[in-house]
Structure 1
Amino acid sequence: MSIDLENFKKNSKTEFSSNQKLAKKLKNVKPKVLDEMFEEAHDKKFKEMDCLSCANCCKTTSPIFIQTDIERLARTFRMKSSAFIDEYLHRDEDGDYVLNSSPCPFLNQDNTCLVYEDRPKACREYPHTNRKNMHGIMNLTLRNTLVCPAVFEIFQDFNKDFRK
């Protein structure tokens, strides 16, 4: 299934205020129930969607690189950690290591990842919709409705459910 990223970008911005209201409602759902809702929605959505048809996350945002990610990728490229940081990363306003540029320098033309087996933890877990403690990452998940079509569609589905 091919994803129209321009249409997605427009729709996700248009629906953002509605998704903000939904995120507030979701904070009233019991934590365990919320985690189960997201996990079920995640599993269903990713049976329909193929990340390789999109890769918008890799094209537009940077994961946070923790020290173990940096060390693992430096070994992959046979570099010192400091050289990897100098070439690919900088500290953002929160003091986290992020990529110098987007799209990700490890994104291949066919949307595959050059370093897939060694990719950062944040990439492994993205879009975080099947994690525990969804209450704790609701703001991140809301922001991801602007990046990931699957997260956007999960929110659209939840919006329908909460209107009933």
Structure 2
Amino acid sequence: MKFSNKILTALIFSGLFLFSCQQRDKQALLEEHAGIKIANPIIYEVMVTNPNPEDDWKTECLANTNIHNLVKDIIKAVRNGDLPAFDYYDNHCLSKPELEKIIAESDLMNKTGNIQFEEEWFWDSKKLSLEKRVKKLMFGYEIYDALGKVRGYKASFVVDLDADKK
């Protein structure tokens, strides 16, 4: 009986040791593979449509850009409650009627002109690579002057991609 107790104790300790080796902090593991965090967060806007068709350089730069599926998927997710949508100005969680009003007045599917990203950046000096992780995004929709030219962009809503999902 003493022998089996020693074996049982040894097995338990071995199992605990192996289990504890696997229980590393998730963030530490991510950072180990991605490098060191050099931006937390960085916030910037990216133009995704060319408001001036005479600007050949912007046309060329955006020639392979198609955000239709991204906009469609985000709208579907916020409508279904899979992603929370927040007011850009005061950060309150938008109610369904508030959200629907923004979607209706903005025509995001056709008028999204820029996207604001909030990201974390990780630099891996060994691989000489930069990894970006988008935490939040916000679509900016075009607003026009009296002549129908794009005057600027208006904020729609913010989605937190790190938020708990359904």
TM-score normalised by L of structure 1: 0.27
TM-score normalised by L of structure 2: 0.27
Q: Which structure has the highest strand share of the two?
A: 2
Query: Which one has a bigger Cα radius of gyration?
Result: 2
Q: Which structure has the highest helix share of the two?
A: 1
- Asked which structure has the greater RCO (Cα within 8 Å, sep 6+), the reply is 1
